[in-house]
Amino acid sequence: MKVKISHVFAVLLCAGAGVSAQTQYAFVTVDDPLAVGGTGPHGIDGSNVAGYYWDSSNKSHGFVNNASAGWMTIDDPLSVNGTAAQAISGTNIVGFYFDSANDVHGFLYDGSNWTTLDDPLASPGPYPQGGTVPQGVSGAAIVGYYGDSGGKSHGFLYSGGTWTTLDDPAGIGETQLAGVDGTNIVGGYSTHGFLYNGASWTNLDFPGAASTYAWDISGTNITGVYHDSAGGAHGFVFDGYTWTPLNDPLGARGTYGQGISGVTVAGTYYDSSGNLHGFCAAPTPSLAISQSPGHITLSWPYSPFFAWGLLQNSDLNTTNWTGSSATPTNDGTNNLITLPLSTGDFFFRLNHQ
């Protein structure tokens, strides 16, 4: 049997540092069914997305969306004027809530218990000038920023009951920590994004952008938003080498990358009417093939938010593409289908279901 892979989405990265125009992403809209005033996903971990939505009274509520189990609203019990989840890691969710005076407080929710997080150096106040705003979590490490009495923002790391102020030396009074993975932290100050590896600070600026903000990090992959010279907002993914723009096709008024897990991004976009929606995005996958005695195995990257079906055809001169009768399995990283070898030619492609 001759096997060929046809019409497969390819991911091509440019040689040398710069912007990649070839990497393509698939998008799916993620809107909380209870939302009236918009949905804002901010964090993602595996098959779970966390964020907030607004109800008909313009009050915000936190949510967790599991790709298979669905939606769950989470509201801090001390919240009076709204809750906003910002990041998720395992069972830990962090974010902030508003009290009766509209002052902002951070929270940690572990699936059972709520813990208020107030940096001891924070000055009480409204968002975003005062209070404590957790934005990222990785295991037991929580990062964010707090506002001082002068309205300046300072980054913080909270771990093991200890609060540590972390200010980019180039952006003191403007530093906001936004995402963490292990010892690596990303965020922004003024018009610059940054990466802090526990020892040194490195600016992250999308090439040619007027401003850049790094929202989250997963391994070597960083997502965020940059603004062009006309003020347009565009998401991005940066793998430490190549910058890839991320623009939801429905995001006529801007796309924001705000959470990343592996290669899957969660974020927000504004449609042509200015309404806020959530999205998940992942690179359009490429097929790979391997052979064993009497069999071939086809594989492509797995994402819990996207269903890619395998189509096959014995003659490219026809349009008789049919779905494979085999059911794919996945190992958490890749979908896999194993087929017996037979005579004749077969061509394969992926279809977004």
pLDDT at position 22 = 57
- Domain identity same for 81 and 184: yes
What b/e sequence results for 128-148 when a residue is b if at least 16 CB atoms lie within 10 Å of its CB, and e otherwise? Answer: eebbbbbbbbbeebbbbbbbb
Residue 19 lies in a domain: no
Cβ-contact 176, 153 below 8 angstroms: yes
pLDDT at position 1 = 31
- Domain identity same for 277 and 299: no
List pLDDT tens digits, range 106-136.
999 999 999 999 999 999 988 877 899 999 9
What does the chain come to in residues? 353
CA 241/CA 260 separation, integer angstroms: 17
Residue 172 lies in a domain: yes
pLDDT at position 108 = 98
- Domain identity same for 254 and 294: no
pLDDT at position 310 = 87
Using the 3D structure, point to which of 236, 251, 283 is the last residue of a domain: 283
- Domain identity same for 249 and 292: no
Q: Which token pair is 249?
A: 């096709």
Residue recorded with tokens 């974020």: 267
Cβ-contact 248, 236 below 8 angstroms: no
List pLDDT tens digits, range 145-196.
999 999 999 999 999 999 999 999 999 899 999 999 999 999 999 999 999 9
- Domain identity same for 237 and 247: yes
Domain around 294: 2-9+285-352
Using the 3D structure, point to which of 249, 283, 317 is the last residue of a domain: 283
The residue among 193, 352, 303 whose CA lies nearest residue 258 is 193
Low-confidence ranges of the chain (pLDDT < 50): 1-17
CA 295/CA 82 separation, integer angstroms: 56
- Domain identity same for 237 and 330: no
Question: What element of type H or E holds 164?
Answer: strand 162-166
pLDDT at position 20 = 52
Residue 17 lies in a domain: no
- Domain identity same for 173 and 313: no
Using the 3D structure, point to which of 283, 298, 317 is the last residue of a domain: 283
CATH classification of the domain holding 300: 2.60.40
- Domain identity same for 318 and 271: no
Residue 253 lies in a domain: yes
Cβ-contact 54, 60 below 8 angstroms: yes
- Domain identity same for 212 and 107: yes
pLDDT at position 85 = 98
Number of structural domains (the chain) is 2
- Domain identity same for 144 and 249: yes
- Domain identity same for 197 and 321: no
Cβ-contact 52, 97 below 8 angstroms: no
Residue 182 lies in a domain: yes
CATH classification of the domain holding 161: 2.120.10
- Domain identity same for 168 and 314: no
What distance separates the 2 farthest-apart alpha carbons in the chain?
Answer: 76
